Amino acid sequence: MPVQVIYITAALLFMAILPLPEDFYSLLRIVAAGTFAWGAYKNFEKKLFLLPLAYAMLAIIFNPVMEINLAKAIAIPIDLLAAALLLSTKKHIAQ
C-alpha cells in the first residue's frame, strides 16, 4: 500500500472529530476499513502478533457493511488512536 494512502486515511481519521455530514463518515468507514484490513493482512503474513490484531479490530470497528454505531464521545478517541497507530506503524504496511 502506498504511504500516501496511509497519510490520507490518518487525515480523514483526524478530520472525523469535526461535525461533518454523514456522507463523510460513510467514506471514512470504507477507507479506514480497507486500510486496516490491508494492514492486518500484511502483518499476519509477516507472522507478527499484536499489530495485526489491532489492525483487525479497527477494521471490524470501521466495517462499512455491518456498522457499529458508537457515541461521539467514544468514537473520537478511537479515531484519534487509530490515526496515531497508523502514523506510528506506517512502515509495517507501506510498500
Contact 87, 13 (CB under 8 A): no
Contact 68, 53 (CB under 8 A): no
Q: Using pLDDT thresholds of 50, 70 and 90, give the confidence band for residue 92.
A: confident
Cell of 44: 499476519
pLDDT tens, residue by residue, 59-85: 999 999 998 888 999 999 999 999 999
Distance CA(77)–CA(73), nearest Å, equals: 7
pLDDT tens, residue by residue, 11-35: 999 999 999 999 999 999 999 999 9
Distance CA(90)–CA(46), nearest Å, equals: 14
Contact 93, 5 (CB under 8 A): no
Is the per-residue pLDDT at 47 higher than 90?
no
